Amino acid sequence: MKKTVYLLALTALVASCAPEKKPEMALLNAKDFEATVDGKEIELFTIKNNDIAAQVTNFGARIVSLFALDKDGEYQDVVWGYESIDAYLKATDKYSGPVVGRFGNRIGKGQFTLDGREYQLSINDGENHLHGGAGGFSTKIWDAKQLNDSTVTMSYFSADGEEGYPGNLTITLTYTATADCALKLTYSATTDQTTIINPTSHAYFNLNGTSDNAMEHTLMIAADSFTPTDKGLIPTGEIRSVAGTPLDFRAATTIGERIESDYEPIVFGGGYDHNWIFSKQSLEHPQVRLYSAKSGIEMIMYTDQPAVQFYSGNFMDGIDTGKRGDKHNYRTGVALEAQNYPDAPNHDNFPSSVLKIGETYTQTTIYKFSIRK
């Protein structure tokens, strides 16, 4: 008897994110994602493990839904998305949930030099290159395979010259729902010619469900410095301390508290849209903590990347209607993009984003959920 009680207590400890009852999850219908585009089949996959579930599609290797338990034992879908492939293809917002690349974030004027040769990438953001160009990874149909209940793997072959990038590049991304309530993203890539690479996931999070105000969430970013930019959001090359600025998130702070500041970088970004440099690059450290007191959900981001772009949804305009009629309004979702620094190929003092023949690019990023009451 004693043994049974002990075992039960132990089980409760191990499965600390498990609810007593099994609430409903508003899963989307896979049928609504069946389509053939450019001769390739689009699909929606569902992965689950204990109390985390995600739906992902091979259209842009994108996260469509992500379910985590709130403090009342209900599931909240904590990412923006659309309820059908038609809605994704029609949306004016192109960056809800996909992997962006080959180089996520911006490259000034789309230009860089590699091994003495100058390259010109496509231009799609003012005079700059953003998120791999208008035909970047987020627009492609990846080859996908569900490996088991909790794992889907996807890969994409990016031909030499695509959007101006050198080298045939093959990238693979595996999504895993893990037993400890996390969604894990593992990337790898190889090339047949020296190239540059910086893929990242562009999910918009709202821990209350997707159409609520996200500015009341608190945020912690374990970063002592950031990369100031020009008006076009291209880094100047300076690495500046966050101390005494509205970009200091070393202690958890409500996002909305300083977002209207007249500090020049905030004005340039129209809110938060900056690259924070982690104080210590390590997969073991909680690098970002996003928390909503309303739902009680906390998300911790772990990543082996050196930096994160935190973007507070400043360009969102509510034109698109998302899942379950949610309006993707101004600042109702926040992107936390684990990455190398923007414009890295043009700054010798930034970490290298160069990938050579025979090398393998890898990245691991984890979004882990828990409840704080």
Residues in touch with ligand GLA (CB under 6 A): 95, 130, 233, 273, 309, 311, 315, 335, 337
Q: For residue 184, which of 27, 26, 52, 281 has the smallest C-alpha distance?
A: 52
Residue 78 near residue 299, CB atoms below 8 Å: yes
Residue 10 near residue 26, CB atoms below 8 Å: no
CB nearer to ligand GLA: give 326 or 337: 337
43 labelled catalytic: no
Q: Which residues contact 221 (CB under 8 A, 6 or more apart)?
A: 249, 250, 276, 278, 287, 288, 308, 310
For 267-281, letters b (16+ CB in 10 Å) and e give eebebbbbbbbbeee
| DSSP label of 59 | B
* Shortest spacing between CB 335 and ligand GLA, in angstroms: 5
Catalytic choice (43, 129, 162, 202) = 202
CB nearer to ligand GLA: give 144 or 215: 215
Q: How many residues does the chain have?
A: 373
* Shortest spacing between CB 311 and ligand GLA, in angstroms: 3
Residue 191 pairs in a beta bridge with 169
Residue 264 pairs in a beta bridge with none
* Shortest spacing between CB 314 and ligand GLA, in angstroms: 7
Catalytic choice (43, 162, 298, 337) = 337
* Shortest spacing between CB 274 and ligand GLA, in angstroms: 8
Q: How many helices (H) and strands (E) does the chain have?
A: 3, 29
* Shortest spacing between CB 209 and ligand GLA, in angstroms: 21
d(CA 302, CA 200): 13
Q: Which bin fits 264, alpha (ψ -120 to 50), beta or left (φ > 0)? A: alpha
Residue 153 near residue 337, CB atoms below 8 Å: no
74 labelled catalytic: no
* Shortest spacing between CB 100 and ligand GLA, in angstroms: 8
DSSP string, 126-178: TTBEETT-TTSGGGSB-EEEEEETTEEEEEEEE-TTGGG--S-EEEEEEEEEE
d(CA 330, CA 332): 6
* Shortest spacing between CB 273 and ligand GLA, in angstroms: 5
Chain residue at closest Cβ approach to ligand GLA? 311
Catalytic residue numbers?
Answer: 202, 337
